[in-house]
């Protein structure tokens, strides 16, 4: 946990950016897998963690902007809970650690909100992403559950996004730690992989390292010989000589901050010539994208910098053709790069995606609906304090290639016969994490091995 001054300062800054009213922050509850007492690992809501730090279920908090107060609502543990799950300090003792001196039973939040509503005061809350939170808010606010999302406060949402988008030094230090563990996860995987091994063995080892470091993985592990599937969470294949392995995984620290890295490496000890060709093209795209990072530069431009390298490289291979500017505008590169170059990262691996990419990554500007570009999560001009990932990729997705060929999408820019020769290739992605600084960007965490030479040195 950070110091109580950190949490108090964050709440005061938030309150200062709003005109008045109550701000309601529900914490997350346990989430049952198959019956009430058999739950997924508990994960606190990131906004609750940011302002109130408490990493336990069944607490909520209210900031009264007009009175300048903060209250944490929670019940003391029952003897049954203590017997089965263990004890915790009292709610007041836990609240004191985050600078909150006013604590009340959980049920009292209803009285506080009812009094504010009766007085005609604004009650601000963020759009919920869990059904139980939606039902709780509906009950609290006298709404139908279906009305809750629309009643969320855009003023609060924008204030939270503006604050959480800029990482403080102590947050950056925490993210550095997350990335350090993430690099260790990748190095271990690159070293251990061999033909005959199962993808699940790699997934198990990287999860072990994340947990042993005191946290967990920050999102479901992608560990696959089918890296052409962008978010492939199945670990069901046996690895063979000649396969290309894509690992996309990161650690989350005990405080909840994420790392997010991707690596691609041959299951054989060396890249084949074919693998090396595409691998080095992806790496060149990533290096160019990283060099483009600077305050004031729209991340959309960073995205197109990398896309240009990929398109021109594939043009050299005879897979693409035509004018590069026209092709990029038409989205032709999306046949092999159907996603975005990166995203914000912080307490969430896709930071605040629950609050909407339009606000987090686009500063309120509408997103493109073009295939490929619609999946760019971040486009706004970069600012010092932003933490972003850079992860352009090259993916040969047979179904997408066949679809575009059949309906002639971007046919003036794609040699489908040449593209088809790569249909069994798989996918390549390298991903690193960066802090935007006053004059450029700093790579977070230690160096991740990713040149061909570095990868092959780790492969034995
Ligand atoms: N690393 C997973 C993602 O960025 O979506
Ligand atoms: Mn990522």
Q: How far apart are CA 70 and CA 13, in angstroms?
A: 13
What dihedral do alpha carbons 117, 121, 126, 128 form, nearest 10°?
A: 10
pLDDT in tens, 93-148: 999 999 999 999 999 999 999 999 999 999 999 999 999 999 999 999 999 999 99
- How much distance in Å is there from the Cα of 241 to the middle of ligand 2? 27
Q: The whole model's pTM is what?
A: 0.97
Work out the average pLDDT over 394-423.
98
Bridge partner residues of 62 (DSSP): 24, 71
- How much distance in Å is there from the Cα of 221 to the middle of ligand 1? 10
Whether residue 199 has its Cβ less than 6 Å from ligand 1 = no
Whether the predicted pLDDT of 202 surpasses 90: yes
- How much distance in Å is there from the Cα of 343 to the middle of ligand 2? 6
Whether residue 228 has its Cβ less than 6 Å from ligand 1 = no
- How much distance in Å is there from the Cα of 236 to the middle of ligand 1? 20
- How much distance in Å is there from the Cα of 261 to the middle of ligand 2? 7
What dihedral do alpha carbons 78, 82, 84, 85 form, nearest 10°?
A: 110
Q: Which atom of ligand 1 is nearest to the CA of 343?
A: 4
CB burial of residue 235 (10 Å; 0-12, 13-18, 19+) = middle
* Nearest ligand (C-alpha, residue 388): 2
- How much distance in Å is there from the Cα of 77 to the middle of ligand 1? 37
Q: Which atom of ligand 1 is nearest to the CA of 249?
A: 1
CB 431 within 8 A of CB 350: no
Q: What percent of the chain has pLDDT over 70?
A: 100
Whether residue 416 has its Cβ less than 6 Å from ligand 1 = no
pLDDT in tens, 263-304: 999 999 999 999 999 999 999 999 999 999 999 999 999 999
Averaged confidence pLDDT in the chain: 98
Domains of the chain: 4-165 (3.40.350.10), 169-459 (3.90.230.10)
Whether the predicted pLDDT of 62 surpasses 90: yes
Provide the residues around ligand 2 (an ion) whose CB is within 5 A.
260, 389
Kind and range of the H or E element at 305? helix 299-316
Whether residue 353 has its Cβ less than 6 Å from ligand 1 = no
Best mutation site among 349, 357, 434 for ligand 1 pocket (most ligand atoms within 8 Å of CB):
349
Q: Which atom of ligand 1 is nearest to the CA of 431?
A: 1
Whether the predicted pLDDT of 460 surpasses 90: no
Whether residue 348 has its Cβ less than 6 Å from ligand 1 = no
What is the structure's pLDDT at 281?
A: 98
Whether residue 248 has its Cβ less than 6 Å from ligand 1 = yes
What are the phi and psi torsion angles at 146 (to 5°)? -70, -20
pLDDT in tens, 309-322: 999 999 999 999 99
Q: Which segments within 2-98 are labelled E, that is strand?
A: 22-26, 32-35, 38-39, 59-64, 69-74
Q: How far apart are CA 260 and CA 446, in angstroms?
A: 13
pLDDT interval class at 208 (50, 70, 90) = very high
Q: How far apart are CA 400 and CA 420, in angstroms?
A: 11
* Nearest ligand (C-alpha, residue 231): 1
pLDDT interval class at 336 (50, 70, 90) = very high
Work out the average pLDDT over 176-187.
98
CB 263 within 8 A of CB 218: no
CA atoms within 13 Å, Cβ hemisphere of 353: 11
Whether residue 174 has its Cβ less than 6 Å from ligand 1 = no
Cβ neighbours for 70, distance < 8 A, ≥ 6 positions apart? 8, 11, 52, 61, 62, 63, 64, 99, 100, 102
* Nearest ligand (C-alpha, residue 431): 2
Long-range contacts, stretch 267-274, CB < 8 angstroms, 24+ apart: 267/193, 267/194, 267/195, 267/225, 267/239, 267/240, 267/241, 267/242, 267/243, 268/195, 268/241, 268/242, 268/243, 268/459, 269/456, 269/459, 269/460, 270/456, 270/459, 271/452, 271/455, 271/456, 272/242, 274/425
Whether the predicted pLDDT of 324 surpasses 90: yes
What are the phi and psi torsion angles at 71 (to 5°)? -130, 135
Best mutation site among 178, 221, 232, 248 for ligand 1 pocket (most ligand atoms within 8 Å of CB):
248
Q: How far apart are CA 448 and CA 454, in angstroms?
A: 9
Whether residue 220 has its Cβ less than 6 Å from ligand 1 = no
Cβ neighbours for 293, distance < 8 A, ≥ 6 positions apart? 302, 382, 388, 390, 434, 436, 440, 441
Whether residue 260 has its Cβ less than 6 Å from ligand 1 = yes
What is the structure's pLDDT at 231?
A: 95
3-state secondary structure 340-405: CCCCECCCCCCCCHHHCHHHHCCCCCCCCCCCCHHHCCCCCECCCCCEEEECCEEECCHHHHHHHH
User: 61 vs 98, 102, 179, CA distance in Å?
Assistant: 12, 10, 31
DSSP state of 56: S
């Amino acid at each position: 946990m950070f110091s109580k001054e950190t949490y108090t300062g964050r709440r005061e800054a938030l309150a200062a950016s709003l005109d008045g009213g109550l701000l309601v922050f529900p914490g997350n509850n346990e989430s049952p897998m198959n019956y009430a007492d058999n739950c997924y690992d508990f994960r606190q809501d990131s906004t609750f963690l940011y302002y109130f730090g408490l990493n336990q279920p069944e607490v909520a908090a209210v900031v009264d902007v007009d009175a300048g107060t903060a209250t944490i609502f929670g019940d003391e543990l029952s003897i049954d809970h203590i017997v089965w799950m263990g004890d915790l300090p009292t709610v007041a003792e836990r609240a004191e650690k985050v600078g909150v001196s006013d604590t009340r039973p959980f049920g009292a939040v209803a009285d506080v909100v009812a009094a504010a509503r009766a007085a005609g005061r604004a009650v601000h809350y963020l759009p919920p992403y869990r059904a139980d939170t939606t039902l709780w808010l509906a009950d609290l606010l006298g709404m139908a559950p279906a009305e809750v999302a629309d009643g969320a406060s855009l003023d609060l949402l924008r204030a939270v996004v503006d604050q959480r988008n800029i990482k403080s030094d102590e947050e950056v230090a925490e993210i550095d730690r997350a990335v350090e563990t993430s690099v260790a996860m990748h190095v271990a995987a690159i070293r251990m992989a061999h033909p005959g091994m199962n993808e699940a063995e790699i997934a198990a080892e990287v999860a072990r390292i994340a947990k042993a470091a005191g946290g967990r993985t920050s999102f479901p592990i992608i560990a696959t010989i089918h890296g052409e599937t962008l978010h492939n969470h199945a670990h069901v294949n046996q690895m063979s000589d000649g396969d290309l392995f894509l690992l996309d995984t990161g650690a989350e620290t005990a405080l909840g901050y994420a790392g997010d890295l991707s690596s691609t490496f041959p299951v054989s000890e060396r890249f084949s010539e074919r693998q090396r060709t595409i691998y080095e093209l992806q790496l060149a795209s990533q290096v160019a994208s990283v060099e483009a990072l600077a305050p004031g530069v729209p991340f959309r431009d960073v995205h197109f910098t990398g896309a240009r390298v990929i398109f021109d490289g594939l043009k050299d291979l005879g897979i693409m053709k035509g004018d590069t500017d026209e092709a990029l505008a038409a989205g032709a590169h999306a046949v092999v790069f159907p996603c975005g170059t990166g995203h914000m990262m912080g307490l969430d691996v896709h930071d605040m995606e629950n609050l909407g990419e339009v606000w987090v990554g686009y500063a309120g500007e509408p997103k493109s609906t073009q295939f490929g570009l619609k999946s760019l999560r971040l486009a706004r001009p970069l600012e010092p304090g932003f933490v972003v990932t850079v992860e352009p990729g090259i993916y040969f997705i047979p179904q997408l290639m066949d679809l575009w060929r059949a309906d002639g999408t971007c046919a003036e820019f794609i040699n489908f016969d040449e593209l088809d020769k790569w249909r069994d290739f798989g996918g390549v992605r390298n991903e690193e994490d960066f802090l935007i600084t006053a004059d450029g960007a700093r790579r977070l965490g230690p160096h991740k091995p990713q040149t061909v030479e570095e990868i092959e040195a780790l492969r034995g």
